[in-house]
Every structure is written in C-alpha cells, then in structure tokens.
Amino acid sequence: MSINGLNLNPGFQTSTLNKLQSPIQASVQNLNPPQADPLSALSTLFSGANSNSAGGMQDSIFQIISVFMALLMQIFGGGGLNPQSLFANSDPSVDPNSQDGNNDITDNGQQDVNNDGSNGCNGNNDANADTGTPTYETPTPTPTPTPTPTYETPTPTPTPTPTPTPTPTYTPPTYDGGNNGQYQGDPHLVGFDGEKYDVMGEDGKTYNMLSDKDIQYNTTFAKYNSNIPGATVIDKAGIQVGKDQVYFDRSGNAPTVNGKPMEKGQEIQLDKGGKAKWDGEQLTVNTSEYTIDLKVGQKDDPNGAALESHVTLNDGGPFTDFVAPHGLLGQTADGVKGQKNTGNDQGKQGGTIIDGTVGDYEEADLWSHSDKFSRFGAEVDNTQTQADDQGNVIKTFDKNGNVLFQKGDNKEAHKTAVAS
C-alpha cells in the first residue's frame, strides 16, 4: 500500500492500521465530506491540499498535520508499534517482536503485558508509561575483617648462673711422728712417738683406743687374776670400718665380720676400701691410713690370756683425711716429734699422757662412737680450713667449728669430740 507514493509495509494495513483506525477517525471526524476509512481520509486530505485555494489548502494541511501528529503519537509514543515495521518488507507472520500477531513492542523494548492491543502497559496512550525512576539496591559492603594482632613473645633474659666459688684444693698435712703404737698385758700402752703409759680402766667397761674419720676401734676390759688390785686386761675388740664391723676376742675363736665367722686364710673386703684377713692366729684389718694386727697373748700365763695389738701408720700418715686421730692410743699420732706431753708416765689411768680422764673415752659398747673425743664420721668443712702462704694446711674444722687438725700441736684438736 502507498500513500502519495510512500510505500508502506503490508503488515501496516492488516495489523497496525487497525490499531490506528480509532484515533485517525477521531482526528478527521470533521472532514467534509466524511470518508469511509482513515486511509481514504488521508487521500482526500492530500487531494484537497493540492486543489484547494490557499485558505482551503491551509486547512487541509493543518488537518493533515493533525492526523500525522495523531499517527506519530500513536506509533511512537504509545508503545504499540515498532517504527521499523512501517517500512520493512517483512512478513507479519514472522515479526520477531510480536507474540500475538500484533506489533506490541514499546519504544523502550518492553512488551505490552496487557495483550489487549493498547499502547502502553496501562492501556493509555502514554509515551512515558514504562518510564520511571530506576531504583537500585545499595549493596551491603562486605566488612573488612579486623586482623588479629600478633604479638612477639619476648625472649626472657636468661638469669646468669652464678659461678660457684671454687673450693680450694689442699695437700694433706705431712706427718712427722712415729709410725707404731701398741698395747699388751694389763694393759701397757706405747704411743706412736714411744710414750709409755698404763690404762687399767675398769672391769667390764669399753673404751676407745683409736678414732678417726673412717675407723672406730673399741676395746672391752676384763679383770686380770693377779695380786695387783684393779688390774685388767683387754678381753674383746670391735673395729668398725665404715659400715662393716669386725669382732675378735681373747678366746682365740675365729673373728667375725658383721657377725659371720671368717675362714682361715680368708680375706674380706670392707667398706671405705678396707679389708680383713684371718690366718688362723692373727687378725689383720687394713684401712687407707692404718694397719691393725690383733692376736691372743699370754696364753701360758696362769692369770689368763689377753689381747695384744699393734697399730702401724700407712704411707702418708694419719692426716690424709685432714682429721687428726684420737683415742687412748690414737692421740699420740699427733705429728709432733718427741714424746707426747710429759713423756713417760707410769700412772695407772694414763697419767699426763692422755687428754682428759679415762672416763672421757668410755663407750656404751664395742660399736658405739659417742665418747668425748670421737672422730668417727667427721667431715671437714673446707670453707673454714686455714693454710699458710704456701698452701700448707694449718688447721681444719668440722661444720660446727670443732678443730679436727692443728699442725704442730694437736692439743686443741684433742679437746672436743666430733658430733656424729
């Protein structure tokens, strides 16, 4: 179809113009004479415009413009017609923008949801029917996680280990005295420097003969059957070396170690590096500082037998443990050349040779070490040790301040016992 030479899409006649019929009729209802259809009215208007006078032509043009304005408003403003469909040579049956055979796609691409042939979603000739202020959902921002603070654990400053004050090392004092002491008979004692003295004690009592750090040598006295009043002999001996106990008596029976009899020729190791040996006649006990021999004497004496003992100092003397020995016999190994105190004393209870009185050496039994001058188990406190400029030891003490050794004169070391 064409209007004054303008070619129109055939679909325009069959579809679009049907939608335009009512508004065109309304726009040209005052035309004279009335026409049968809108297209005829447009032809008449164009014809009148060509043949009318100037005034009539102006009216025709005005009406034509009015009809075209109505057409344009309907086509492009109402949302019911795609402008491209007016001039395309396509088949309306394949119109891609129509689902119901009508050109009902609006100017903004929105489909007429009314499906009633009206231009616009609301059925009104409203060019802005689908136009509205867009709304946008403001996205909720993803919170930025707060980082967990990390803390560096400070390295503690190490507490310096205090350097201990070194304990001085001392050389044991030298011994300048004699090397042998002994007792025998009823009983007669000979000191390490040759002192001679008697100690009769009392029948049935036990006294200490030698006491040092690792050894306690006790003896029990018994009545001597003679015409001498109060005369005694040594009946039993108990020698403790560390924790081991060696027993022997004047009966001549085999000695025992911790209560067990020794075999002839047997040698038994003792505590503190000691040892005991029995040859069938003589018992020998060795320690680091002493060698003690014991045997039965006076076997043919009608008044009774008695124990006899010799004590010999080993190499190094009795001061290798920094403790001066004590006891009725041991105190004479004081390291001073010459006879102890006033020399020989033939008194019956030690006279002036021994420190104190014979009662100060009394023990409860053969294994006791509770006499006044006992040294058994003594421990030297080196923090109190005194030495000269050359490092020679002058004096040693125990932890309680008791003197254990004094070079040159051990009288002070002989005054007190060591608590044990």
3-state secondary structure 267-293: EEECHHHCEEEECCCCEEEECCCEEEE
Residue 112 has pLDDT above 50, yes or no: no
More confident residue, 145 or 204: 204
321 burial level (CB within 10 Å; 0-12, 13-18, 19+): buried
Q: Which residue has the higher pLDDT, 133 or 419?
A: 133
Confidence of residue 33 (pLDDT cuts 50, 70, 90): low
> How much is the pLDDT for 412?
53
Task: Check whether 416 has a pLDDT greater than 60.
Answer: no
Give Cα separations from 297 to 139, 307, 369, 415 (angstroms).
122, 6, 27, 33
Closest among 371, 368, 347, 348 to 359, alpha carbons compared: 371
What is the pLDDT at residue 163? Answer: 81
Q: What is the pLDDT of residue 108?
A: 45
What does the mean pLDDT of the chain come to?
Answer: 76
pLDDT at 16 over 80: no
29-50: average pLDDT: 55
For residue range 376-404, list pLDDT tens digits in order: 999 999 889 999 888 889 899 999 898 99
**pLDDT in the model for residue 129:** 46
**Average pLDDT for 229-255:** 95
Please state, for a pLDDT cut of 90, what percent of the chain lies above it. Answer: 38
Q: What is the model's pLDDT at position 86?
A: 42
Q: Which residue has the higher pLDDT, 268 or 194?
A: 268
pLDDT for residue 254 is more than 80: yes
Give pLDDT, residue 149. 76
Of 185 and 246, the one with more pLDDT:
246
Range from 3-17, 33-47, 369-383, 397-411 carrying the lowest mean pLDDT = 3-17
User: Which band of pLDDT confidence, cut at 50, 70 and 90, is reported for residue 232?
Assistant: very high
pLDDT of residue 411: 54
Question: Is the model's pLDDT at 414 over the cut of 60?
Answer: no
The secondary structure element, H or E, covering residue 41 is helix 38-51
Measured in degrees and rounded to the nearest 5, phi and psi for residue 112 equal -70, 105
Predicted confidence at residue 181, as pLDDT, reads 94
- Element spanning 26, H or E: helix 17-27
Amino acid at 302: P
At 167 the pLDDT is: 66
Residue 126 scores a pLDDT above 80: no
283-286/290-297 β-pairing: antiparallel
Confirm if 75 and 81 have CB atoms less than 8 A apart. Answer: yes
